[in-house]
Structure 1
Amino acid sequence: MVSEAENFVDAMIKQGIEPNVVMYNTLVNGHCLRNEMDKARIVFNLMIEKGCAPDIVTYSTMINRYCKDKRLDEAMELFHEISQKGPIPDTVTYCTLMQSLFQLGKVSTACELFRKMLASGQVPDIATCLILLDGLCKTGHIEEALRLFQAMRNSGLELDIVPYNILIDGLCKVGHIEFAKELFHQLSDNGLKPSVYTYCIMINRLCKEGLPDEAYRLLGSMGDNDCLPNSCCYNVMIRGFLRNSYTSKATQLLTEMVGKGFSADIFTATLFMDLIIYSNKSILL
């Protein structure tokens, strides 16, 4: 493998072409895309040996692939190497690492990395904030997520429905349904309309809280925001009805769903029939 990279570089030099960082990066990227990290590392080491210093693109490409492969130790090793060798990490590098850290449950390390990013003078953009917000919510750190969300609003960032969905989902998952409802109702005050996903989150949680009637009213109100229910919304609502023993309403809703041109997918159909069989009732008669 070493000889392949060396032969390629030597061939270029013999043709009077001095390989530059862009050419090396192309090789590194190609190996990373094919998940050939041993070869990518060989090219990385070779470019240093040949006196061509890796730039932030080289490091980011390697770090991104290591993170995708959950080889976080190697990704962090390269990140620490950056600070010693000169290239300044960009937001892409920080975001890649933070996302991977959150996925592996290393919340404190991810937050520490974010603070390091701020200390380095990097200004977090909306994509960076969303990664942090999503990571905090998915790991149950809802208080920190709320503080971050407020900071995002105070900073003047233009927020669309995405951060609201992330936070509403996070609040629902930890059982803070009242806070989630409050945030949901704030959408119109901020010039936003709920998306289908927003409604699905709320309907699902209301059903799990034993509030299927309220969930059904919310489903019925979707048209007020020019947002029509899709098969996912119907599936969630039918499941909520069945979990709360509203078998008749579940049947009616299934009929309504089909009448509106939706085809119940295999998950919906299987769930519906399994629950009918489990309850030992023939509600289709």
Structure 2
Amino acid sequence: MTMMMMMRGWRSSSLSSFSSAFDHLRQLGSGNPRSATSLFYSQISYFSTTHSKKKPKYVFDQIDGALNKFDQMLHMHPRPSIVEFNQLLGAIVRMKYYETAVTLLRKMELLGIYPNVCTLSILINSFCRLHRVDFGFSVLGKMMKLGIESNTITLSTLINGLCIGGKVAQAVRLFDDMVREGYQPNLITYSIIVNGLCKIGDTTRAILLLSTMEEIGFAPDIATYNTVIDSLCKDKHVTEALKLSSEMRGGMSKVGRLAVAQELFKEMSAYGLVPNVIIYSILLDGLCKRGHIHEALGLFRVMQNSGLEPNIVHYSILIDGLCQVGQLKVARKLFCALKVKGIHPNGYTYSIMIRRLCKEGLQNEAYELFSKMELDGCMPDSCSYNVMITGFLRNNDTSRGVQILHEMVNKGFSANASVAAMLVNLMSSDSTGEYIRAVVQKL
């Protein structure tokens, strides 16, 4: 199969030439880059500017600064390399001035500034963001005529454009063609496809894709898992989400998730792509695991300001991170704010708070929270029971610990290894009363 065959079904609907795509866009009102109509979002990645080894070369508060820099570059002798132009265009796209980026690229073409694969991938991404994926395919055709070989990012951008336009079936078809052509999908490609399936509510197929990836030897990464988990949470399938999250944590514990996220973010940023809930969850988890809670909170605010809606997974990561560094007051405030935001804590979130309260010697408050779980529509599970029992026993409140143990066993749950060890020590202690011994022996 050739690249031309990969474009089947699109050639008839896309424009016949690269230039006509520019001309058509100019008719939409983007002829003057300084009067671009797209909404300006001053969104510069928190992570890329504070944690990546190399900061973006160009960062602007307003579009005028970028346009002035573009004019300066055009009048330099010799002109900067195409790499520098790409860096500037990437900054403009990150500001979401897609029409402006297209116009500047048109000007570059007229001035004879020869593009490379990154330049044209930025153009394709801009067209896709403007909901003109057909123009994106026209650019792909132009690349073929120029002898510029497309890469995985180029095709992934088109796949993303199809998903943005709700054409997930066509995106999956292009993905299949891409693999048959010998292109190796990367983390971005899989993330886009899985996200597209989840976007249309086809979580079942998304989970099947995870299995297919494992079968062909491409281990799903944390980003791919988190996409499906996010969809399951939105569909209220919390149990399935927690199960998948457990599998993910077991499989990804030794591969340096934060490092993977950094590389993925840098690759996306280079092509003008912006982070989504998946990438943010990876970065939040990585920062919290390393105790960088202030950076995590800053990143969380950036996520909210970007228009993305955090779910219970993101909040649980932050609450756990706050508890780990001893900021119980802030964690409690964030936990209490969940209901106001219409987000319901799950068993895992409750267990985080109960565990920390007990560690701080606040077992009465912990038990009060534990008692409210069922009233809030969240039935206590084995994890929350064991956490509560552990809290009582470690704080020498043996009577209530055994009481909760009795309740847990009656509901069909079992003590975990930690609680079992504590019970063995309890039974061997001379200070343990006969009533407590009798209750434990009965259990």
For 2:233 and 2:67, locate their aligned partners in 1 and report how far apart those are by CA, in whole Å. 48
Q: 2:142 pairs with 143, 148, 151, which one?
A: 151
- Show the counterpart of 1:134: 125
- Show the counterpart of 2:115: 124
1:225–1:148 CA distance, 2 compared to 1 (3 A): farther
- Show the counterpart of 2:379: 282
- Show the counterpart of 2:242: 251
- Show the counterpart of 2:194: 203
For 2:102 and 2:124, locate their aligned partners in 1 and report how far apart those are by CA, in whole Å. 11
- Show the counterpart of 1:193: 184
The worse-fitting range, judged by mean Cα deviation, of 101-110 and 174-183 is: 101-110
Q: Is 1:227–2:241 an aligned residue pair?
A: no
1:209–1:160 CA distance, 2 compared to 1 (3 A): same
Say whether the 8 Å CA contact 1:193–1:225 is kept in structure 2.
no
1:284–1:167 CA distance, 2 compared to 1 (3 A): farther
Higher relative contact order, structure no. (Cα contacts within 8 Å, ≥ 6 residues apart): 2
1:99–1:255 CA distance, 2 compared to 1 (3 A): closer
Say whether the 8 Å CA contact 1:231–1:262 is kept in structure 2.
no
Q: 2:64 pairs with 70, 73, 76, which one?
A: 73
Q: Which deviations, in whole Å up to 9, do the C-alpha atoms of 1:171-209 show, x marking residues without a partner? A: 222322112111111122210132233222222221221
Larger Rg: 2
The worse-fitting range, judged by mean Cα deviation, of 108-117 and 262-271 is: 262-271
Q: Which deviations, in whole Å up to 9, do the C-alpha atoms of 1:210-268 show, x marking residues without a partner? A: 11110100011112443211222222212222222333422332332244353993684
1:276–1:99 CA distance, 2 compared to 1 (3 A): same
Give unpaired runs (5+ residues) of structure 2: 1-55, 255-281, 289-311, 318-342, 348-372, 383-443
- Show the counterpart of 1:99: 90
For 1:224 and 1:150, locate their aligned partners in 2 and report how far apart those are by CA, in whole Å. 34
For 1:230 and 1:84, locate their aligned partners in 2 and report how far apart those are by CA, in whole Å. 45
Q: Which amino acid counterpart does residue 232 of structure 2 have in structure 1?
A: F
Aligned residues: 221
Which structure dedicates a bigger proportion of its chain to helix? 1
1:93–1:72 CA distance, 2 compared to 1 (3 A): farther
Q: Which amino acid counterpart does residue 246 of structure 1 have in structure 2?
A: H
2:346 aligns to what SS in structure 1?
helix
Say whether the 8 Å CA contact 2:60–2:91 is kept in structure 1.
no
For 1:248 and 1:176, locate their aligned partners in 2 and report how far apart those are by CA, in whole Å. 30
- 1:29-108 equivalences in 2 (<5 Å): 67-70=58-61, 72-77=63-68, 79-80=70-71, 87-88=78-79, 90-108=81-99
For 1:218 and 1:197, locate their aligned partners in 2 and report how far apart those are by CA, in whole Å. 14
- Show the counterpart of 1:167: 158
2:188 aligns to what SS in structure 1?
helix
1:274–1:156 CA distance, 2 compared to 1 (3 A): farther
Q: Which amino acid counterpart does residue 346 of structure 2 have in structure 1?
A: I
**TM-score with structure 1 setting the length:** 0.63
1:175 aligns to what SS in structure 2?
coil
Q: Which amino acid counterpart does residue 240 of structure 2 have in structure 1?
A: K
For 2:187 and 2:75, locate their aligned partners in 1 and report how far apart those are by CA, in whole Å. 47
For 1:271 and 1:150, locate their aligned partners in 2 and report how far apart those are by CA, in whole Å. 46
1:110 aligns to what SS in structure 2?
helix
For 1:160 and 1:175, locate their aligned partners in 2 and report how far apart those are by CA, in whole Å. 23
1:200–1:151 CA distance, 2 compared to 1 (3 A): same
The worse-fitting range, judged by mean Cα deviation, of 104-113 and 163-172 is: 104-113
1:83–1:212 CA distance, 2 compared to 1 (3 A): closer
Say whether the 8 Å CA contact 2:160–2:192 is kept in structure 1.
yes
Q: Which amino acid counterpart does residue 280 of structure 1 have in structure 2?
A: G
**TM-score with structure 2 setting the length:** 0.43
Q: 1:218 pairs with 209, 218, 223, which one?
A: 209
For 1:82 and 1:165, locate their aligned partners in 2 and report how far apart those are by CA, in whole Å. 30
Give unpaired runs (5+ residues) of structure 1: 1-63
1:204 aligns to what SS in structure 2?
helix
Q: Which amino acid counterpart does residue 129 of structure 1 have in structure 2?
A: L
